[in-house]
Structure 1
Amino acid sequence: MKKTLITALLIVLLSSTGLFAAVSDNFNVTTVVANVDLMTISTTQFTGTTVAAFEALVPFTTLAISGGGAQTFNAWLSTLSNNRAGFKVTMKATAMKSSIAGQADAFINYTVTCNSKSVTTNDAAEVTATSPILTYPSLSLVTKTSNKISLTVIQTDFDKALSGSYTGTVTFIYTAN
């Protein structure tokens, strides 16, 4: 009888300790945040911090020149990035050129400046700024920039320009690190 009583007590003891055991469970919370690497030339300074605000910027596409010297216009090189590895922006430009079949091309040169970096065009040659306009080797938070662009047409080139329609291009290149 003693054996049966001891066995019964052991069974009760073992089954009751299971009732008081601590139980836990968990779940993971995950997400993926995509790289944001945006750049535009806008008509206003970018002051937002979101992709939606960036996408609402109005693009600046054409600067109509009517004379030599400093030009009056509002254009901003704007960027938005969350890329941990950072980014850089470089600039290059071509002179305004007029082409007429059977005749030599005519050029009007200018200097374009952004974030204290300048490029002065040189007739048919495409000219690249000697250093990047913006350099961010890495980011620790979402970074926005908006730098005013200025342009000065070389007065003597404009004064001696031959008749015709002239077009030049200023190009900014965004490179994610």
Structure 2
Amino acid sequence: MNAVDDAEVSPGLRDAVRRLEALTGRVVRDVTDGHARWELYRAALASDAPRPGLLAAVVVEPDGAVASAAVGEVLEWVPRADRDVWVRALAPSVRAFSERRARELGVLEDLRSGAGVRELGPGLPDGWSDWLQLRIGAEVSDPSVLRLLAASGRTRRIRRAAAEALG
């Protein structure tokens, strides 16, 4: 998260920041400071009301890392059907992480709701990130899923967590 030149701060970004300031009660003293914008975006994540304003800010955010971080955070809080809108708000060059996180959140939700591993498709859990495997071990109660992770999770930590969840 780097500062951007004042010339890189578009009127759209200034407007989006002002709207988020009004919704969150936070003030960004230097709109060119990516860290300050990130703190404002984090404040906007704390409640539902500022989310449309946050989406507008992400669309005009000049720092791809800041935009990607905001989207990565919000994906857990928005309905599954809305995640693609957030991912597409990012520049194509910084979408990969958020695309993967959105897919993985879908897998986690499916498993939490009782979908079996076979229903999710081939290549599992090999294609699951460590983040997803750890979340599954902590949040999914299906013994067949936990046994799969206990036997073939990517790391010892993942295998141990799944084995402990089995009891």
Alignment TM-score > 0.5, same fold: no
TM-score range, shorter chain: under 0.3
TM-score (norm 2): 0.21
TM-score (norm 1): 0.20
Greater RCO between the two (CA within 8 Å, min separation 6)?
Answer: 1
Higher helix residue share: 2
